[in-house]
């Protein structure tokens, strides 16, 4: 084999990229495990604060979603029917 064989160079690059990806995955997995353990320790040490925090976040999220739904434009039946007929008229080439 030649010293400058391109297939060998590509194989080496693929191998080193695979190793780098495996190391990055392992590092991310360790950090996620540490974060999960830290969060679990906090919740076990402060159950009241944790429950109230989650309740408050859920309450705020519910208010935001409710407000968003309440302020959505709603068409009356006649407008909706016209839009429906117009859409299907275009799809069926009935213009």
Q: What is the pLDDT of residues 19-78, one digit of tens each?
A: 999 999 999 999 999 999 999 999 999 999 999 999 999 999 999 888 887 776 666 778
Question: Which structural domain, as residue segments, surrounds residue 2?
Answer: 1-45
| 30 and 66 in a common domain | no
| 5 and 26 in a common domain | yes
User: So what's the pLDDT on residue 74?
Assistant: 67
| 62 and 93 in a common domain | yes
Domain count, the chain: 2
User: So what's the pLDDT on residue 73?
Assistant: 67
| 39 and 59 in a common domain | no
Q: Note the pTM of the prediction, 2 decimals.
A: 0.49
| 24 and 4 in a common domain | yes
Closest CA to 39 of 29, 31, 27, 28: 31
| Per-residue DSSP letter, 72 | S
| 38 and 13 in a common domain | yes
User: So what's the pLDDT on residue 1?
Assistant: 47
Query: Binning pLDDT at 50, 70 and 90, where does residue 84 land?
Result: confident
Distance linking the first and last C-alpha atoms of the chain:
70
């Amino acid at each position: 084999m030649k010293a400058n064989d391109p297939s060998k160079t590509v194989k080496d690059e693929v191998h080193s990229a695979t190793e780098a990806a495996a190391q990055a995955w392992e590092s991310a997995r360790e950090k996620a495990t540490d974060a999960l353990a830290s969060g679990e320790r906090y919740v076990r040490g402060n159950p009241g604060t944790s429950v109230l925090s989650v309740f408050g976040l859920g309450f705020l999220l519910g208010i935001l979603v409710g407000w968003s739904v309440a302020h959505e434009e709603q068409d009356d039946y006649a407008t909706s029917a016209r839009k429906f007929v117009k859409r299907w008229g275009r799809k069926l080439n009935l213009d």
